[in-house]
A and B are shown apart, each in its own frame.
Chain A
Amino acid sequence: GDSVTQMEGPVTLSEEAFLTINCTYTATGYPSLFWYVQYPGEGLQLLLKATKADDKGSNKGFEATYRKETTSFHLEKGSVQVSDSAVYFCALTANQAGTALIFGKGTTLSVSS
């Protein structure tokens, strides 16, 4: 079945460092890909998404490119802030109405000043 694998954390960075969180997927067909962020004690917020190969999703300085040839959707940010500290989830869904999201296990990011 479909699955998502993302790098294990925690990832610890200093403010203004470059961030990469790796995400690869296994899926039949052409899934849509997502990054969600979760702050402590809260639900998930959509960070960015891409719906077809070579699409780049971007939001709040974060970006990720849908790479079909490497089945990857790595999250990057050029300069992290303390406020970026959270858990990041990579997810996919098949392009069929009502299909559930399939998540990776999440990566905890901790940014210190």
Chain B
Amino acid sequence: DGGITQSPKYLFRKEGQNVTLSCEQNLNHDAMYWYRQDPGQGLRLIYYSQIVNDFQKGDIAEGYSVSREKKESFPLTVTSAQKNPTAFYLCASTPGSYGYTFGSGTRLTVV
């Protein structure tokens, strides 16, 4: 079945460490997105990519980086510059304006 796979489900980061969250889709969708979810804050857009080798900053891009070398993959790196990275991260994709599909999320905790 087609879908989005996020890994790992749980991730622990030490202070000053970079970590990368994986997002892979086999839906042949052009556009992919990363959101951050905090309690009571809803989902906020970090980065998005509408085509391979191109991406744009969302509302809260500081301290994060992405790449889009393949259509299927859109990894998110949480850098040491992100001062409060503990959150639930969701990846999504869409072929157009409708039919957004979400992954099951990665919960990142700073230890």
- Residues on A facing B (Cβ under 8 Å): 32, 34, 36, 41-46, 49, 51, 89, 93-106
Tell which of A41, A93, A98, A104 touches B30, judged by Cβ atoms closer than 8 Å: A98
**A-B contact sample (17 more), CB < 8 A, given A43-B6, A101-B43:** A43-B102, A43-B103, A43-B104, A43-B105, A49-B98, A89-B42, A93-B97, A97-B30, A97-B31, A98-B30, A98-B48, A100-B45, A101-B100, A103-B35, A103-B43, A105-B41, A106-B42
Please give me the residue from chain B that is nearest to A36 by CB atom. Answer: B102
22 residue pairs bridging A and B, Cβ less than 8 Å apart: A36-B102, A41-B107, A42-B105, A43-B102, A43-B103, A43-B104, A44-B43, A44-B90, A95-B97, A97-B50, A97-B96, A97-B97, A98-B50, A99-B97, A100-B48, A101-B100, A103-B35, A103-B42, A103-B44, A104-B42, A105-B41, A106-B40
B80-97 at interface with A (beta carbon < 8 Å): 90, 92, 94, 96-97
Query: Is B16's beta carbon under 8 Å from chain A?
Result: no
- Residues on B facing A (Cβ under 8 Å): 6, 30-31, 33, 35, 40-45, 48, 50, 58, 90, 92, 94, 96-98, 100, 102-105, 107
Interface of A is mostly: loop
